């Protein structure tokens, strides 16, 4: 092996990236493409901690200074940054200093300039600029969002089923999913297009796991702002059916016994899609205003995921319990549906399985408390004595079988000393809701 290549491989990944980047402006286009490929490989080597420390203002300022017609062309830097943003999302690095850098201002100016060219604009460059802007930042200009959303949706509407197109569509939808719920987005910018993308996948299954979930995440973030979307989400796009089955199917597809650091990019994308499905469920459980028998299956979705993931991935188990906790605090919920879904057993198992993680135990106790108190209130208004006794017996048996009463008493004093935000009160009453 060439000595120079060997030394390059032995260097720290972030240092190697910067060294290659310094050479980028002095290369031919072919050499630039080769170096960008090498830099992308160094990014892939970084774990989440290294990537987070690398993703800083000085990096973006450096790239800003090196970007220009006589230095490194926009097209090359955008491709490089888009891959960096993509890896940031896969690794779950939420923080980004891009918004506070000189590069952010240049990006916004460049996006505006390309958009104003209309017939003469470089469509591919504009799409890349918009996707990159959304992937590397955590804060967005609402004016730029009005350009980015329709531009990226147009790219995401491509229906060819070859692998290259699937990857491009996945990147487009992934970037859109980061337009958060705090940014108001007018319906005319996205509504018909995102419906078409979701419905087309339901018919033809043309999207990857992550692309399909990203389309839903973008729409659910709009639901956060506009509750009128519930009718469309449930009745036209069949959210209850999709969210009951899709996350569970995905969870069954994942190899949970394989260590996280051993997983490849495909597996990282699948786990990210699952985590985001659980977040979407939590959003929906918190916001929805209607209910029917189908919700037993919907509440059962995080219960099933909890069962397959809890032993290997505690963070997934916690997300499942959190999602059910949001459901327990929604006034539209029929609590007998939540009980039938298996939520009581899941919360009880979580308490017994954990020995030291008080925050996660508190999540389970909060869920059980909400269910018990709601059922207690319901029973006070229940005229049918036989039904009242039957419900009392079923819930009591579930809690006693899992040792809930013993766990509750054991943790009671510890929990009372926690932050006031838990507000448990006399928790022993949860077991004696009747």
Check which CATH number belongs to the domain holding 293 and give it.
Answer: 1.25.10.10
Per residue in 412-432, pLDDT (tens digit) is 544 444 443 333 334 444 443
Q: Give the pTM.
A: 0.84
Confirm whether 53 is domain-assigned.
yes
Q: List pLDDT tens digits, range 321-356.
A: 999 989 988 888 888 888 889 988 888 888 777 655
8-28 residue pLDDT tens:
554 678 888 888 988 887 888
Task: List pLDDT tens digits, range 159-192.
Answer: 887 889 999 999 999 999 988 877 788 888 999 9
Between CA 143 and CA 154, with CA 148 as vertex, the angle to 5 degrees is 145
Residue 49 lies in a domain: yes
Residue 33 lies in a domain: yes
Residues whose CB falls within 8 Å of the CB of residue 348, separated by 6 or more in sequence, listed in order: 364, 368, 398, 399, 402, 403, 404, 407
Q: Spell 372-396 as b/e; 16+ CB within 10 A means b.
A: bbbbbeebeeeeeeeebeebbeebb
Domain end among 104, 139, 174: 139
Non-local (6+) Cβ contacts of 47 within 8 A are 91, 261
Whether residues 120 and 243 fall in one domain: no
Give the pLDDT of residue 244. 96
Q: Does residue 250 belong to any structural domain of this protein?
A: yes
Which pair of tokens denotes residue 155?
């790219």
Instruction: Tell whether 386 and 253 lie within a shared domain.
Output: yes
pLDDT, tens digit, for every residue of 29-43?
899 899 999 999 999
The reply to whether 135 and 247 lie within a common domain is no
User: Is the same domain home to 267 and 402?
Assistant: yes
Residue 412 is predicted with a pLDDT of: 52
How many structural domains comprise the chain? 2
Q: Is residue 123 part of a domain?
A: yes
pLDDT at res. 37? 93
Give yes or no: residues 425 and 283 share one domain: yes
Q: What is the DSSP letter of 236?
A: I
- Average pLDDT of the chain is 83
Helix axes 404-416 and 343-353, enclosed angle (nearest 10) = 60
What pLDDT score does 225 carry? 79
Q: Are residues 243 and 382 in the same domain?
A: yes
Asked whether residue 147 is assigned to any structural domain, the reply reads no
pLDDT at 146: 93
Q: Which of 123, 139, 155 is the last residue of a domain?
A: 139
Q: How many CA atoms lie within 13 A of 261 on its CB side?
A: 5
Banded pLDDT at 92 (limits 50, 70, 90): confident
Q: Last residue of a domain, which of 139, 165, 189?
A: 139
CA distance 426 to 344: 19
Does residue 152 form part of some domain? no
Q: What is the mean pLDDT of residues 53-65?
A: 88
Q: Which residue range(s) make up the domain with 249? A: 238-434
User: Does 13 share its domain with 134?
Assistant: yes
Query: What distance lies between CA 36 and its chain's CA centroid?
Result: 28
Residue with tokens 């390059």: 8
Residue 166 counted as domain residue = no
Residue 420 pLDDT: 36
Query: What's the pLDDT at 395?
Result: 59
Confidence of residue 277 (pLDDT cuts 50, 70, 90): very high
Percent of the chain with pLDDT over 90: 41
């Amino acid at each position: 092996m060439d000595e120079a290549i060997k030394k390059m491989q032995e260097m720290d990944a972030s240092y190697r990236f910067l060294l290659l980047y310094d050479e980028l402006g002095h290369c031919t286009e072919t050499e630039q493409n080769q170096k960008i490929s090498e830099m992308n490989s160094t990014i892939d080597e970084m774990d989440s901690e290294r990537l987070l420390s690398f993703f800083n203002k000085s990096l973006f300022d450096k790239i800003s200074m090196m970007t220009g017609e006589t230095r490194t062309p926009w097209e090359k830097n955008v491709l490089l940054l888009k891959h960096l943003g993509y890896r940031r999302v896969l690794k779950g690095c939420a923080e980004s200093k891009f918004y506070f850098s000189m590069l952010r201002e240049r990006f916004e100016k460049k996006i505006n300039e390309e958009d104003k060219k209309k017939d003469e604009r470089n469509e591919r460059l504009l799409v890349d600029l918009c996707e990159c802007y959304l992937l590397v930042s955590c804060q967005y200009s609402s004016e730029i969002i009005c350009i980015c959303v329709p531009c990226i949706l147009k790219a995401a509407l491509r229906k060819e089923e070859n692998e290259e197109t699937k990857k491009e569509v996945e990147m487009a939808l992934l970037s859109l999913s980061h337009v958060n719920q705090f940014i108001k987005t007018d319906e005319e910018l996205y509504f018909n297009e995102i419906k078409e993308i979701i419905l087309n996948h339901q018919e033809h299954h043309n999207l990857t796991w992550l692309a399909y979930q990203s389309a839903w995440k973008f729409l659910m973030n709009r639901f956060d702002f506009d509750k009128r979307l519930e009718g469309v989400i449930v009745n036209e796009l069949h959210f209850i059916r999709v969210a009951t089955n899709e996350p569970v199917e995905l969870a069954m597809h994942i190899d949970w016994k394989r260590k996280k650091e051993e997983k490849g990019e495909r597996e990282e994308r699948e786990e990210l899609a699952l985590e985001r499905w659980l977040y979407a469920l939590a959003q929906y459980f918190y916001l929805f205003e209607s209910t029917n028998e189908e919700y037993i299956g919907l509440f059962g979705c995080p219960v099933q995921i909890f069962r397959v993931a809890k032993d290997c991935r505690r963070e997934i188990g916690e997300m499942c319990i959190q999602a059910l906790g949001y459901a327990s605090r929604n006034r539209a919920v029929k609590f007998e549906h939540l009980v039938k879904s298996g939520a009581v057993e899941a919360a009880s198992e979580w308490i017994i399985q954990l020995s030291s993680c008080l925050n996660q135990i508190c999540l389970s106790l909060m869920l059980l408390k909400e269910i018990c108190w709601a059922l207690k209130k319901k029973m006070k208004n229940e005229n049918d004595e036989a039904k009242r006794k039957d419900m009392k017996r079923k819930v009591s048996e579930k809690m006693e079988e899992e040792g809930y009463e013993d766990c509750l008493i054991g943790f009671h004093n510890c929990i009372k000393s926690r932050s006031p935000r838990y507000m448990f009160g006399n928790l022993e009453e949860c077991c004696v809701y009747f």
